[in-house]
Amino acid sequence: MNAEHRTPVALIVDDDAMMRLLIRQTLERAGFACHEAGNGREALGLVGSYSPDIILLDVVMPELDGYGTCEQLRLLPDTSHVPVIMLTGLDDNDSIDRAYQAGATDFISKPINWGVLGYRVRYVMRASHALRDVAKHQSSLETAQRIARVGGWEWGIQHNEHYWSTETYRILGLDPAQARPNVDAFLACVHEDERESTREAIMDLVKAGEFPARIIRVHRPDGGLRYVQVQAVATLDGSGTVTRLSGTIQDVTELQEAEQRIRYLAYYDGTTGLPNRQSFIEGLGKALGVAKRHHRQLGILALDLDQFKRVNDTLGHGVGNEVLIAAAQRLVATLRECDVIALPEQRLEGSEGVARLDGDEFSVLISDLNHYHDAAKVAHRLLDELRKPFKAGGQEVFLTASIGLALYPLDGDDTDSLMRNAGAAMHFAKEQGRDNYQFYSRAMNATALEKLSMESQLRKALERDEFLLHYQPKINASTRRIVGVEALIRWQHPELGMVPPSQFIPLAEETGLIVPIGEWVLRSACEQNFSWQRSGLPQMHVAVNISSPHFRQGLTGSIGEALRTSGLDPALLEVELTESMLMQNVETTLATLHEIKDMGVRLAIDDFGTGYSSLSYLKRFPLDALKIDRSFVKDLPRDPEDAAITKAIIAMAHSLRLQVVAEGVETQEQLAFLQQHGCDVLQGYLFSRPVTAEQFCALLHKDLALETVRA
């Protein structure tokens, strides 16, 4: 290809035979093969057959002179890039100008210095070849870029100069004649979702000179979305400042699409579109990593459709597949409703955590499980949903499933053991007669069932009016007369009997049932007190314990409602709040407390001393009373620490002008100690345990009689 590897060919065009002879002689000595033409026309006829590497052309010739010949040579494909040296008169500047205008590469003036002619000609030819090679490299580079879909770009930071190769424009779908190459023009092409992160990456690149190759989506003006891979290298100056960036941009759309397709084939089940076993195992692995770091629980459900083979056998595989697809969709929809999959990054891609492992075998991952009974709830819901008939092949198909549950960390801490144990639990569920779920840890089955049934019964308890209130009197420490009463909730279960609050209040708080239950307590206590007042009993306040969820969710409204419907004087209602409740969000708390106070209702702080209390906040809260926690009262007066704390609380409360109430008073010694140190009100078994409304009424009458006697 390179002309320098063979004998270069010169074409000598001159009408003067002597000149031709001398030039020929000179060039042959310089290693050229020479051909001669006596005039321009002859030369134009010869170039095709001789393919000269250089042409020496006399200017003054009859017929077609040197200028005309040169212009025509430039128009021929064979000679358009062949260097042409024109032989001009030394005294003739005009002819030199005209020679260049006609397309001459160089000129040699006459008389010719024969000693250097060979060198001149060779030099002109080499320079011309070098230029042609550069052009050829440039064009072959562009061709290579076009074939590889790689564009090149450069950015001179200091002067903000940009260069984009033709292919760069093509990849971005921009017209080089219209678009200005710069960062903003590039970012304008980038997909909105990635524009900011790309801008930041570019800024990092300018600052730090580092730019990991990244794949970016770009919009082309024709509406097409392409994936481009951008790579960059930075040139630094002596001080480490980035002065120049150069890089490539490559259209990798096909590659990306192929990867996605391969990924889909490798990770998804073709029938249902759910992730497959491989995908589930990888997703579970990732979720386990997250759960281990954040000390969270995971639930793995192995779900197998019961006797699915029968569907295939009786209705055919076509209908079987239809049912599988419908079942998969139902699983996905149910899990979405269950809202058990917490974080999107823990979710199996596009699946709500459900995968098809094989045939009629599915698996569900519940990441970020709060309680194991949440997993039971999910299993319960899935079984319920699958029991509903499927329509396939023009008829109704009935399905049930068996589910096994394994929990991380309880039942295993790697994917293998968790999946194996969930599978074992699923087989146990089959043995139990199908259409049920089983935990891998047997103990959980009983408690989960208990909890589930407890929850549904708790829901029904309100409707069935199974709650009732018991009342415990509050006694004036000095007069020993009843000055108030605390209302305490009880659940009269038709089968279990009286369920203590410790067994159902936590469940009520978990399920949110605590708020309607709290409303019921408020209303019932107010109604009861109003009814006592109506029957002529002495005025006293009824105290109601408020739960934390209720305090944060419309407590003021509930109190107003209870007072309105009952007709009770607000001054005869006291609400008891715990320290921890009040300290959660002090500003909101303060606002709520003032709203309640403004209604005329008494405020008491319950279980005082067990939580974290800030005296400065206590001072700001509009409280009426403070109840010392029973744990301090229990060992009075023998435990010196409790005695000191109790004395301190009483003194402090009095300095804040708060009434002090002691709970859990059971002995005469406790009574004596509390009386001695100025406690105002007492409550406890020493006086009365919590009793029914009727019993309390009787107590009041006795108390009244006592007063009459004393009087």
Nearer to other proteins, 114 or 163 (CB): 114
Residue (of 624, 523, 629) closest to 580 by Cα position:
629
Nearer to other proteins, 67 or 280 (CB): 67
Contacts to other proteins from residues 115-174, by CB under 8 A: 115
Minimum distance between the CB of residue 73 and other proteins, rounded to whole angstroms? 21
Half-sphere exposure (Cβ direction) of 591: Cα atoms closer than 13 Å? 6
62 near other proteins, judged by CB under 8 A: yes
Radius of gyration of the chain (CA): 48
What are the two backbone dihedrals, phi and then psi, of residue 321, each rounded to the nearest 5 degrees? -65, -40
Residue type, 354: V
| Token pair for 121 | 């000609």
String of b and e for 404-425 (b: at least 16 CB within 10 Å)? bbbbbebbbeebeebbbbbbbb
Minimum distance between the CB of residue 90 and other proteins, rounded to whole angstroms? 9
Nearer to other proteins, 70 or 604 (CB): 70
Q: Binding residues for other proteins, how many (CB under 8 A)?
A: 21
Contacts to other proteins from residues 11-30, by CB under 8 A: 15-19, 21-22, 25-26, 29
Q: Are 59 and 86 in contact (CB under 8 A)?
A: yes
Single out the segment in contact with other proteins by CB under 8 A; choices: 113-121, 237-245, 569-577, 603-611: 113-121
Q: Which of 78, 80, 93, 114 binds other proteins (CB under 8 A)?
A: 114
> Per-residue string for binding with other proteins, 168-207, x by CB under 8 A?
----------------------------------------
Q: How far apart are CA 358 and CA 265, in angstroms?
A: 15
Residue (of 233, 224, 223) closest to 254 by Cα position:
224
Residue type, 77: P
Minimum distance between the CB of residue 87 and other proteins, rounded to whole angstroms? 9
Minimum distance between the CB of residue 36 and other proteins, rounded to whole angstroms? 13
Minimum distance between the CB of residue 114 and other proteins, rounded to whole angstroms? 5
Nearer to other proteins, 90 or 233 (CB): 90
Strand partners, 391: 396
38 near other proteins, judged by CB under 8 A: no
60 near other proteins, judged by CB under 8 A: yes
Which of 661-669's residues contact partners 24+ apart within 8 Å by CB, and which partners? 661/474, 661/604, 661/625, 661/626, 661/627, 661/628, 662/627, 662/628, 662/633, 663/627, 663/628, 663/629, 663/630, 663/633, 664/630, 664/633, 664/634, 665/633, 669/636, 669/637, 669/638
Minimum distance between the CB of residue 61 and other proteins, rounded to whole angstroms? 8
Q: Are 545 and 576 in contact (CB under 8 A)?
A: yes
* First vs last C-alpha separation in the chain: 133
Q: Which of 74, 110, 459, 634 binds other proteins (CB under 8 A)?
A: 110
Q: Are 342 and 260 in contact (CB under 8 A)?
A: no
3-state secondary structure 433-451: CCCCEEECCHHHHHHHHHH
Q: Which of 91, 345, 463, 587 binds other proteins (CB under 8 A)?
A: 91
Nearer to other proteins, 24 or 602 (CB): 24
> Per-residue string for binding with other proteins, 70-89, x by CB under 8 A?
-------------------x
Minimum distance between the CB of residue 14 and other proteins, rounded to whole angstroms? 9
Nearer to other proteins, 29 or 387 (CB): 29
Binding residues vs other proteins (CB under 8 A): 15-19, 21-22, 25-26, 29, 60-62, 89, 91, 110-115
